[in-house]
Structure 1
């Protein structure tokens, strides 16, 4: 793949991955379960991308995490905080608006204004 195109695709995906991850954290998830949920929707995310993203979201107080040690293998679960849920809902609205606007542009449609 063209290196420039690859770079631009990575840049394009960066913000969408954040929104995708937030969308799946309305219920508690651990890293691997989150990867599986995203993959079911066709979104691939490497662990080397996911875990730093989860740590950043936690630092921004959008998600909280807790350890579950009830099974043989301890797992760290992440879930949206109430603040994170508010931010997610706002981001979702913004994404839908931007997506619709961009879709119109990409279809070559124009406003009824004359040049």
Structure 2
């Protein structure tokens, strides 16, 4: 059905715009990639691995995440955690998210200002 495809595309676009916020928020505590995928999915925010791993590398390159290899187990795992700069970005993004959420709610209730 065309409407379902249309909605799916818009929902994907909305999630794509919020995945950085979801990752930074979750990574206040260290996670390795697969555990992060699972945590996001259990929280109702499924992200494809092909989206997440390049995003983690980009956020690390931007200085918003730090990473550390854990080689104590049989399989080495790279753990990511939000950096001080990442926390500052998370705080600003969260504030902006709340402003946008309030604005959408107000629009839906006809409370816009002219």
State the TM-score, normalizing by the size of structure 1: 0.87
Take 1:7 and 1:68, find their aligned partners in 2: how far apart are those partners?
A: 38
Report the CA distance between 1:5 and its aligned residue.
Answer: 3.7
* Selected match of 1:23 from 22, 25, 35: 25
Q: Distance in 1 between matches of 2:30 and 2:14?
A: 27
For this pair of structures, how many residues does the alignment match?
112
* 3-state DSSP of counterpart to 1:76: strand
Question: Would you say 1:94 and 2:103 are equivalent positions?
Answer: no
1:23-102 to structure 2, matched below 5 A, reads: 23-102=25-104
1:4, distance to aligned residue in structure 2 (A):
4.2
Runs of 5+ consecutive residues of structure 1 not aligned to the other structure: none
The CA RMSD over aligned residues, in Å, is 1.6
SS in 2 for 1:100: helix
Deviation at 1:67, TM superposition (A): 0.7
- Structure 1 residues 47-87: Cα deviation after superposition (integer angstroms, max 9, x where no partner): 11110110111111100111100000100100011111111
Q: Structure 2 length normalisation: TM-score?
A: 0.88
